[in-house]
Amino acid sequence: MQPTSTPFFGRGVRAAAALGVLAGLVAVTGCSDGAASPRPRESAHGTTHQGSDVGEEIPPVAGIPVISGVRSLVLPIEPYLVTDRQMSAVLRAREVLVAPCMRRFGFAWPDPDPGPGRGDSGGMPPGMKNAANMDRRYGITDPALAARHGYHFAPDAGQRTTKESPATQPDADAMAILTGRAADGTPAPSRYHGLPVPEGGCQGQATARLTGGRPLGNDPLAGEINIVSYQKSRADPRVRAVFRAWSACMQKRGYSYAAPTDAPGKDPRFTGPAPTPQEIALAEADVACKRQTNVIGVWFTVDTAYQRRMMASKGPELARAKDAIRARTANAARVLNGDR
């Protein structure tokens, strides 16, 4: 569930579609697009983490509600994060713009397949249904899914499959023109077949048109707040206390885990293609103990408190992040509606 220090973003990405190389490259050329993280700042409490003014004191909370599920939960930072649906539209618009650019350089580059269905997540990890990944942010929390799939993700009903195409495995020249980088990491040639190569290749050019030069993924500050609040809340004494209560509950059921972030971790018994009876039994116990000890209520409340404190002095910066999401989403919609 939570083997690392950042929110759980899935244990495997869906197989790439015929033009999936474009969506897949977002991990290395899109989500960061060269944007640097903000530098640490000095505050009254010393140097903060990446300029988000976390501070050292734990934030107070007015009360801890009892929460059994995450379906209706929304963290304060979510309106400032890119959702999977928004990213799907932007990536798809980028594919639409990339195809004619690649063909201008002589590559047999097909147009994207017909638009994704309502359930399609556009190449995002399965199970990641919103920007903060609430479905798995606090581990598995749905008893019905635990009983059916254990810790595995439920199959994505909107997942599409496509046939192989020439663009699935681009050659070295095509990759250089696509990304603006040769295979050895050096810049692509400034001209190819007599035509000037755009900065960042066809993909960089398309990204710049959609985002106006801003990062393709989350705004660095918003993304940082989302991750740091998770890290801080996970280490918060109130959350550690409820972890101990959860651990005692699990112990009574025959399982020895110090925290829900340890179960199942990297246990090889739970990494196969389908859940085993042992995995399902553990997942059911995990969810039951979360509900019995109010893990979600405590963790979400503390997580929210950290986010609110970090966001309190960042109104203008976050407003710009929200405006950037609106702009790129509108640009993507125009491209997908035929404005090339």
pLDDT at 268: 82
Structure tokens at 200: 């960042």
Residue 130 included in any domain: yes
Q: So what's the pLDDT on residue 168?
A: 54
Please report the pLDDT score of residue 129 as a whole number. Answer: 54
Place of tokens 């705004």: 219
Contact 305, 63 (CB under 8 A): no
Q: What are phi and psi of 171, to 5 degrees?
A: -75, 180
* Within a domain: 30: yes
Q: Which domain holds residue 189?
A: 20-336
pLDDT beneath 70: ranges in the chain: 1-56, 114-130, 156-169, 340
Element (H, E) at 195: strand 195-196
Q: Is 131 within a domain?
A: yes
Residue 115, domain member (yes or no): yes
Q: What distance in Å separates the CA atoms of residue 196 and residue 193, rounded to the nearest whole number?
A: 9
Q: Where are the alpha helices (DSSP H) in the chain?
A: 20-24, 84-104, 134-137, 143-149, 172-179, 201-211, 220-235, 237-252, 277-293, 295-311, 315-336
Contacts of 113 (CB under 8 A, 6+ apart): 17, 18, 19, 160, 162
Residue holding tokens 């809340």? 233
Q: What is the pLDDT of residue 266?
A: 75
Amino acid at 10: G
| 306 located within any domain | yes
Q: Which residues of 232-244 are buried (b: 16+ CB within 10 A; e: fewer)?
A: bbbebebbeebbe
Q: Are 24 and 12 in contact (CB under 8 A)?
A: no
Domain total of the chain: 1
**DSSP secondary structure string for all residues of 36-54:** PPPPP-EETTEE-STTS--
Residue 8 resides in a domain: no
Q: What is the pLDDT of residues 230-278, one digit of tens each?
A: 999 999 999 999 999 999 999 999 999 999 999 887 788 888 899 999 9
Note whether residue 12 is domain-resident: no
181 and 25 Cβ atoms separated by less than 8 Å: no
Q: What does pTM read for this prediction?
A: 0.75
Amino acid letter, 293: T
pLDDT at position 130, please? 66
**pLDDT recorded at residue 63:** 93
Identify the CA nearest to 263 among candidates 66, 278, 272, 274: 278
Return the ∠ at Cα 313 (arms to 84 and 83), rounded to 5°. Answer: 5
Q: How big is the chain, counted in residues?
A: 340
